[in-house]
Structure 1
Amino acid sequence: MTNSYKPISCHFYDKLEELAVKKQKVKIIYLDNELTLETEDLIVDFKTKNKEEFAILSNGLIIRLDKIVEII
């Protein structure tokens, strides 16, 4: 169903956390199945489930961290 999780770098995780703490709206480009999608929103939380890490956005969207291509 989904590809196995590939842990992200600590540096990238720190950047995501910093954006969340600053409550800074960001454009996130990410992969969903074979599609490249983008959304613009606030990161409000992070969660880990089955050793996979996710960002939770204020609109309720949950994105697996290793599927994030770029943060603008």
Structure 2
Amino acid sequence: MSTTYQPINCDYYDRLEAWATMRTICLIRFTSEEGQVQEVSSRIADLFVLEKVEYMRLENGVVLRLDTLIDVNNIPLPNQC
């Protein structure tokens, strides 16, 4: 994974916010720091920015950088705008 943050598609971010607001349990696939595809099922507790990097905090305590996401609820991240 690149250490330089790549912002995600704005429409997809809005979708993440909607799932967080609706407290939807999401199936989230992402790339770990080791480059492995991992999967977790949890509610999105918070979306936040820290030092110009966007993050997602899950209800189970996991924190993910948004540019590590592969798909959420089987909806893949679109190409960047």
What TM-score do the two structures reach when normalised by structure 2? 0.84
Q: Secondary structure at the match of 1:41?
A: strand
CA drift of 1:19 comes to: 0.3
Give aligned-pair identity as a percent.
31
Q: How many residues align?
A: 72
Letter in 1 for 2:50: K
Which residue of 2 is the match for residue 20 of structure 1?
20
Query: Counterpart in 1 of 2:52?
Result: 51
* Map of 1:61 onto structure 2: 62
> In 2, Cα distance between the equivalents of 1:63 and 1:25?
16
Partner of residue 29, structure 1: 29
CA shift, 1:46, in A, is 1.2
Deviation >3 Å, runs of 4+: none
Give unmatched runs, 5+ long, in structure 1.
none
Question: How many Å separate the matches in 2 of 1:20 and 1:44?
Answer: 6
Amino acid at match of 2:14: D
Unaligned runs of 5+ in 2: 74-81
Task: Please give the alpha-carbon distance, in whole angstroms, between the structure 1 residues aligned to 2:7 and 2:27.
Answer: 21
Task: Supply the distance in 2 between the matched residues of 1:46 and 1:22 (Cα, whole angstroms).
Answer: 14
